[in-house]
Chains A and B, each alone.
Chain A
Amino acid sequence: MNTIAYFLVVPLGTALLLVIFGRWVVRWAGIIVSVVFSALTALVVQCYFINQLPFTVAVGGWEPVQGIPLGIHWVVDGFTLLMLALINFTGAIVALYSISSMKSYTKLRKYYALLMLLGLGMNGVALAGDLFTMYVFLEISAISSYILVAFGRGAEELEASFKYQVLGGSASMLILFAIALVYRLTGTLNIADASRVLSGQSAEMTMLFTGALFLTGFGLKAAIMPFHSWLPDAHPAAPAPVSAILSGVVIKVLGIYPLCRLFYHFIGFEGVWTGIWLVLGAISLMVANILALAQWDIKRLLAYCSISQIGYIVIAMGLGTELGIIAGLFHMANHTIFKSLLFFNAGAIEHATGFRDLRKLGGLRTKMPVTYATSLIASFSIAGLPPFSGFWSKLLIIIACMKAGHPFLAIWAALGSMLTLAAFLKFQHHGFGGPDKEYQQSIKEVSFSSQIAMIILAILCLGMGCLMLPGLRSAILEPAANILSQGLNATTLFLGN
């Protein structure tokens, strides 16, 4: 139980030590950060084996008094562990990729410190069983991601980051408002406890309002469709490794994860909310895919594609059935892997050629074989071609839609998938296919550490389908889905009777 605290103490300590003593270790900073994140990933794996899930940890030793929590609690269940694994694994890979690709920037140790702080904030959000703690750690990761987006300080970066900050800041305020309303009604900040208090009260309007506030606030952080406008600016503007972590995990941990937790365990996922989630997901999926198809900037195409994949996750989670939740979680994990890989590829192309406009690119197949091969795998994954990972999760989502009695939604999702395929065929064709161009004389494949990062992710893209196997599925996905599908009854698991 004590080990849980390491998820916060170790990243914060590393970040501080990097800022204080970074001058002497700046050449090794990338490796240090990567090792720290890998160690945390190993810790997650260890948590799967040694602990009886779910459990709660009372921070500072303030155990509940007569069943009422008075301090902060961490909640550790299958869902938390899945998110922790994604966060820390992606952190490790991103740090590995950063070693060579960030070389041209100054203030590198601050970059790595910020990466650690981003990981710390997301770990804190994933662990929080307390609304306000969730808000505070959300702010840590949000602020570090604002800074990371603008790390290069170009005009475009600054502007995109400013937009991101303004929308993110107002989202935080909406979330804080909702938290204040919850405290007004229940007098507690613990999610499980608040849900228990509310089950005995009738406050329909307030809960509706609170739910709307949470949905808008976290929806802004997750870039669900009507609230997406910052993402297509912020993610392309950031340096490549930062875009990878932003698109790969940040939008999920700051947006989708709290939404799922709050709606399933606190507000109650039924009535009007199912419909709203499905509609929002369906809009994000289709519109973002169409917009992605129209893009010529590689990173912008990928950014719109992130929104559409978030749409898939929202639909799957919105169904509320056990199969839907499993499919959503599976797609979340898959998307983390292949979207990080695609942003790495885009970064590699930009690093090698100096631009990222598809109209000017072409013929990179022979010059950058590793980038080409890995991006092909990632593209097929995201487009949902068998046997790559994306196929299985999208198939599950479609089956879940059918089973839940939404055949139209299933067709809609399949259509969206075809659009994604079209967008990525465009990416492959214009980026790697076609004749050689004259600028290519001096082009080299990216450095070795970046290649390693891409290859690891590509292997995972192929291997993630294994999560469908019964053994792994019951070990990893099912505990997470189980805790969510229990809905409001899960409070007894966290607080006892």
Chain B
Amino acid sequence: MKHGMSVIVQSIARLMVPFIWMFGIYIIAHGHISPGGGFAGGVFLAGGFILITLAFGSAPDKEERSQDFASKLESEALLIFLIMASIGLVLKLGLMANLLAKTHPGLPGHIAAGGLIPWENLAIGVEVSAALAVMFIAFARHRLKE
């Protein structure tokens, strides 16, 4: 995918991608209030990225770098999720204990509620989007080689 697509596609992509990303972030942030959550939002973020790559194309060396970056980001996001899950373990509440919610559950329906849930959603969102980006770039790079 060295060349990307036509100018029309490129300008539409340029218009749409910010909105897609904004929607993804909104979905992640409101995962505990409205439909959606880390998974849906993460897939939207990855979708925006894929749209950009499809429309504009990219150079091989840049693809390699972004693949490394995405792969690292993915592992780190999962590690952060694991750390959040283990906080409860350290405090002897058990793995995955949503300890903030046990003391301050907050008011259902508000954004500052749910204890760790929004943060876990964020980590999951980053993990999912990075994982999908890794998969997509792997396919795209393979095509370059053939």
- Measured CB to CB, the residues of A under 8 A from B are 1-2, 5, 8-9, 12-13, 16-17, 19-20, 57-61
A20 touches B94 (CB 8 A): no
Task: Given the known inter-chain contacts A9-B86, A60-B98, A61-B97, please indicate yes or no for A16 contacting B78, CB distance below 8 A.
Answer: yes
As a 0/1 sequence over residues 99 to 110 of chain B, the CB contacts with chain A under 8 angstroms (1 = contact) are 000100000000
- If A2-B92, A59-B95, A59-B96 touch, whether A20 touches B72 (CB-CB below 8 Å) is yes
Contact in complex: A13, B98 (CB < 8 Å) = no
Query: Which of A12, A16, A17, A60 lies in contact with B94, CB distance below 8 A?
Result: A60
19 contacts between A and B (CB under 8 A): A2-B89, A5-B94, A5-B95, A8-B95, A9-B89, A9-B95, A12-B78, A12-B82, A13-B79, A19-B75, A20-B72, A20-B75, A57-B94, A59-B95, A59-B96, A60-B88, A60-B96, A60-B98, A61-B97
In this complex, the interface size class of chain B, counting residues with CB under 8 Å from chain A, is 10 to 19
Is A13 in contact with B82, judged by CB distance below 8 angstroms? yes
Distance of A20 Cα from B89 Cα, bound (Å): 23
The distance in angstroms between the C-alpha atoms of A16 and B77, with both chains bound, is 10
A16 to chain B, nearest CB (A): 5
- State in angstroms the CA–CA spacing of A59 and B102 once bound together: 14
Contacts of A59 in B (CB 8 A): 94-96
Q: Is the beta-carbon distance between B88 and A61 smaller than 8 angstroms?
A: yes
Q: Are B93 and A61 in contact (CB under 8 A)?
A: yes
Q: How far is the CB of B126 from chain A (nearest CB, A)?
A: 14
User: What's the minimum C-beta distance from B82 to chain A, rounded to whole angstroms?
Assistant: 6
Closest to A60 in B: B96
CB of B93 within 8 A of CB of A5, answer: no
Nearest opposing residue in chain A for B98, CB measure: A60
Complex contacts, A61 vs chain B, CB 8 Å = 88, 93-94, 97, 102
Docked pose: A16 CA to B71 CA in angstroms: 11
Bound state CA distance, A57 and B93, in angstroms?
Answer: 11
Contact A58 B82, beta carbon cutoff 8 Å: no
Note all chain B residues with C-beta closer than 8 A to A8: 95
- Chain A interface helix/strand/loop/mixed: helix
Task: Please give, as numbers and ranges, the residues of chain A lying within 8 Å of B82 by CB-CB distance.
Answer: 9, 12-13, 16
Which B residues fall within an 8 A CB radius of A? 71-72, 75-76, 78-79, 82, 85-86, 88-89, 92-98, 102
Give the CA-CA distance A12 to B98 in the complex, in Å.
20
Report which residue of A2, A8, A57 has the largest number of chain B beta carbons within 10 angstroms of its beta carbon: A2
Decide: A20 and B79 in contact? CB cutoff 8 A.
Answer: yes
Residues of A within 8 Å of B93, CB to CB, are 61
Taking CB as reference atom, which chain B residue is nearest A16?
A: B79
Distance, CA A20 to CA B71, complexed state (A): 9
A60-B92 CB under 8 A given contacts A13-B79, A16-B75, A16-B82: no
* A19, B75: Cα distance in complex, Å: 7
* Given A5-B94, A9-B89, 11 new contacts (CB under 8 A): A1-B94, A2-B92, A2-B94, A9-B95, A19-B71, A19-B75, A20-B76, A58-B94, A59-B94, A61-B88, A61-B93
* Shortest distance from the beta carbon of B97 to any chain A beta carbon, whole Å: 5
Cα–Cα, bound, A20→B102 (Å) = 32
Contact B79 A60 (CB under 8 A): no
CB of B2 to closest CB in A, whole Å: 26
A94 to chain B, nearest CB (A): 23
| Complex CA distance for A9 and B88, rounded to whole angstroms | 12
- Is there an interface contact between B79 and A17, defined as CB atoms closer than 8 Å? yes
- In the complex, which residues of chain A have a beta carbon less than 8 angstroms from the beta carbon of B96? 59-60
Bound state CA distance, A229 and B93, in angstroms? 45
Taking the closest CB of chain A, its distance from the CB of B66, in whole angstroms, is: 17
Q: How far is the CB of A146 from chain B (nearest CB, A)?
A: 15
A427 to B32, CA, bound (A): 61
Q: Which residues of A have CB within 8 Å of B102?
A: 61
The complex places the Cα of A12 from the Cα of B93 at a distance, in Å, of 20
Chain A residues near B86 (CB-CB < 8 A): 5, 9
Cβ–Cβ < 8 Å partners of A5 in chain B? 86, 89, 94-95
Query: What residues on B are CB-neighbors of A17 within 8 Å?
Result: 79
- Which are the 7 A-B pairs with shortest beta-carbon distances? A5-B95, A60-B96, A16-B79, A19-B75, A61-B94, A61-B97, A20-B75
Within the complex, the shortest CB–CB distance from A1 to chain B, in Å, comes to: 8
Complex contacts, B95 vs chain A, CB 8 Å: 5, 8-9, 59-60
**CB neighbours of A58 from chain B (8 A):** 94
Complexed CA–CA distance, A8 and B95 (Å): 10
Interface centre among B76, B89, B95 (most CB of A within 10 A): B95
With both chains docked as a complex, state the minimum distance between the C-beta of B118 and any C-beta of chain A, in angstroms: 17
Instruction: Select from chain A the residue with minimum beta-carbon distance to B71.
Output: A19
- A residues near B78, Cβ cutoff 8 Å: 12, 16
For the complex formed, measure the closest distance between the CB of B113 and the CB atoms of chain A, giving whole angstroms. Answer: 18
Closest residue of chain A to B85 (Cβ to Cβ) is A9
Measured between beta carbons, the chain A residues less than 8 angstroms from B76 are 20
Q: How far is the CB of A471 from chain B (nearest CB, A)?
A: 34
Q: How far is the CA of A8 from the CA of B85 in the complex (A)?
A: 11
Question: How far apart are the CA atoms of A9 and B84 in the complex, in Å?
Answer: 11
Among B75, B76, B88, the one with the most A-chain Cβ atoms within 10 Å of its Cβ is: B75
A59 and B88 CA atoms in complex are apart in Å by 10
**A57–B89 Cα gap in the complex (Å)?**
12
Q: Which residue of B lies closest to A22 (CB)?
A: B75
CB distance from B43 to the nearest CB of A (A): 19
Residues of A within 8 Å of B71, CB to CB, are 19
Nearest chain B residue, comparing its CB with the CB of A9: B86
**Residues of A with C-beta under 8 A to B88:** 60-61
Q: A98 vs B76: C-alpha distance in the bound complex, in angstroms?
A: 26
Docked pose: A58 CA to B92 CA in angstroms = 12
In the complex, which residue of chain B has the Cβ closest to the Cβ of A18? B75
* A60-B97 CB under 8 A given contacts A9-B82, A20-B75: yes
